[in-house]
Amino acid sequence: MVPAPFSYFAPDSLEEALSLLGEHGDSAKILAGGQSLLPLMAFRLVRPAVLVDLGRIEALGRHELAGDRLTIGAMVTHRTIELDHRITSRCDMLREALDVLGHVAIRNVGTVGGSLAHADPAAEWLAVALAMDGRIMVTGPRGSRDVAADGFATGWMTSCLAPDEIVTGVRLNMPGTGTGTAFEEVARRHGDFAVVGVAARVSVAGEAIAGARIALAGASSTPIRAHRAEALLAGTALSGPDLDAACEAAASETEPVADLHGSVEYKQHLALALVRRAVRRAYNRAVASQ
């Protein structure tokens, strides 16, 4: 199939892009790689009258690692981050998540900002941002704001973005000494959307857990934090009972929907099993990094 007719604009600046959004309103869509939007258009599930392509805005195509802060522009591709050894060597979670994010052809074109703005509950980037205390940078006609990853997604494939706002990037806190990370995912085939995914970040003091962040993808209408599981892990040395209790709590915090990929019970079982794997591996990496 082919998309319905549309007008195409490729502005050279963020200001021009915002002006186009203001001019065309709800009939306009941002094109930021197109790996999600273009298939929807091809099946005519969405029919924007106007596409505003951000590909020429150079400032959105940069990323920077400064100390423990990683800033990624919205138009940076998944593959760019995957191939930056400075980043992946410091954060196992990112390396493991990018390895299962689609296929190389998709990662070559798909962008970090596009994935975040799409707000698919099964996508890897928002779960990673949740686990890495991320803040999503947003710009609109009223100015710029940073949105905590915890509050960005508001429902199934919906976010707190206003129609005239653009995701311009994301800031992530990189792990340091005494912190380990991991990402686990089950999909029907390699490169498919996750049935359930788990991003885990664990910090330790000696062998005791000083703090944990656990984010799940595909387990609710939005990516979620497993707050109760995190609280149960704090102060423990990750004994069998400690981990069992945390995994059961994480599974109980999910609200999956039954579909052709599995029942509610199956997805909750996956959540429990993947939290166990991710937390254990993140914990071992944290202890080893001290």
Instruction: Give the pLDDT confidence score for residue 192 in this predicted structure.
Output: 86
Structure tokens at 240: 């069998």
Return the CATH number at 259.
3.30.390.50
Structure tokens at 184: 């686990």
Return the CATH number at 165.
3.30.465.10
Instruction: Give the pLDDT confidence score for residue 74 in this predicted structure.
Output: 98
Instruction: Give the pLDDT confidence score for residue 231 in this predicted structure.
Output: 98
What are the tens digits of pLDDT across the range 18-45? Answer: 999 999 999 999 999 999 999 999 999 9
Based on the fold, state whether residues 110 and 201 are members of the same structural domain. no
Residue 61 has pLDDT above 80, yes or no: yes
What are the tens digits of pLDDT across the range 139-186? Answer: 999 999 999 999 999 999 999 999 999 999 999 999 999 999 999 999
Instruction: Give the pLDDT confidence score for residue 191 in this predicted structure.
Output: 83
Percent of the chain scoring above 90 in pLDDT = 94
Residue 214 has pLDDT above 90, yes or no: yes
Between 75-79, 150-154, 190-194, the lowest mean confidence (pLDDT) is in 190-194
| 3 state DSSP class of 176 | coil
Query: Phi and psi of 66, rounded to 5°?
Result: -125, 105
Based on the fold, state whether residues 192 and 269 are members of the same structural domain. yes
Query: Of the residues 126, 156, 173, which one is the last residue of a structural domain?
Result: 173
Based on the fold, state whether residues 107 and 42 are members of the same structural domain. no
Query: Is there a domain that residue 245 lies in?
Result: yes
Averaged confidence pLDDT in the chain: 96
Based on the fold, state whether residues 79 and 41 are members of the same structural domain. no
C-alpha–C-alpha distance, residues 130 and 222, integer Å = 11
CB–CB of 97/193 below 8 Å?
Answer: no
What are the tens digits of pLDDT across the range 226-261? Answer: 999 999 999 999 999 999 999 999 999 999 999 988
Instruction: Give the pLDDT confidence score for residue 190 in this predicted structure.
Output: 87
Q: Report, in angstroms and rounded to the nearest whole number, the Rg of the chain calculated over CA atoms.
A: 19
pLDDT band at 65 (very low <50, low <70, confident <90, very high): very high
Instruction: Give the pLDDT confidence score for residue 266 in this predicted structure.
Output: 96
Residue 48 has pLDDT above 90, yes or no: yes
Range of the domain at 279: 179-288
Q: How far, in Å, are 188, 198, 227, 261 from residue 195 at the CA level?
A: 7, 10, 21, 7
